[in-house]
Amino acid sequence: MEQITQTSFGARVADFFALIFTRTDTRRCPYPGCAVHVRFRAVSPQEAQRLTELAVDHARHVKPTER
């Protein structure tokens, strides 16, 4: 098995972006029996926070269209 000892700067940058853009986060509703979950990737921290709150707030799942 060959070992790559030299890593070009370009390869390292590619790895860096691959890590970011392929990383998928999943937030599931903690309520037992609820299948609601939100999957996202490559979003801003603010958007991730918003989606997380949406996923874990079960009150929004039982009345999705009622306002």
Alpha-carbon distance of 63 to 67, in angstroms, equals 8
Selected range binding Zn ion among 3-11, 15-23, 42-50, 55-63, rule: CB under 5 A: 55-63
Selected range binding Zn ion among 3-11, 19-27, 33-41, 44-52, rule: CB under 5 A: 33-41
29 lies in the binding site for Zn ion (CB under 5 A): yes
50 lies in the binding site for Zn ion (CB under 5 A): no
Q: Which residues of 23-62 are buried (b: 16+ CB within 10 A; e: fewer)?
A: eeeebebeeeeeebebeeeeeeeeebeebeeebbeeeeee
Chain residues binding Zn ion by CB under 5 A are: 29, 31, 34, 36, 58, 61
